[in-house]
Amino acid sequence: MTTATLSTKYQLVIPRSVRERLGLTPGTKLTVIDKGGVVYLVPERPIRSRRGVARGTNPRGLREKKDRL
């Protein structure tokens, strides 16, 4: 696990190994989420990159929310 230090200007440098693994480039926007004292940085990806995620799913057999327990 790598660590990063917050600068006096409140800037954070993401370690090279993490940037390369996630494919982060200069100008990539990150969404900052605070959950229970943990900070998550989630890279924003274009919606087109999610195309085909649900390919092959069968909508038959899915229930409406009102029919669930």
What pLDDT does 51 receive? 79
Residues 13-67: pLDDT tens digits? 999 999 999 889 999 999 999 999 999 999 888 777 777 777 777 777 677 777 7
What pLDDT does 15 receive? 93
Closest by CA to 14, choosing from 39, 34, 35, 36, is 39
Read off the pTM.
0.59
Q: What is the 3-state secondary structure (H, E, C) of 8-44?
A: CCCCCCCCHHHHHHHCCCCCCCEEEEEECCEEEEEEC
**CB under 8 Å to 44, separation ≥6 — which residues?**
28, 29, 30, 31
Q: pLDDT band at 69, cuts 50/70/90?
A: low
Which sequence spans correspond to the domains of the chain? 15-45
Residues 15-24: pLDDT tens digits? 999 999 988 9
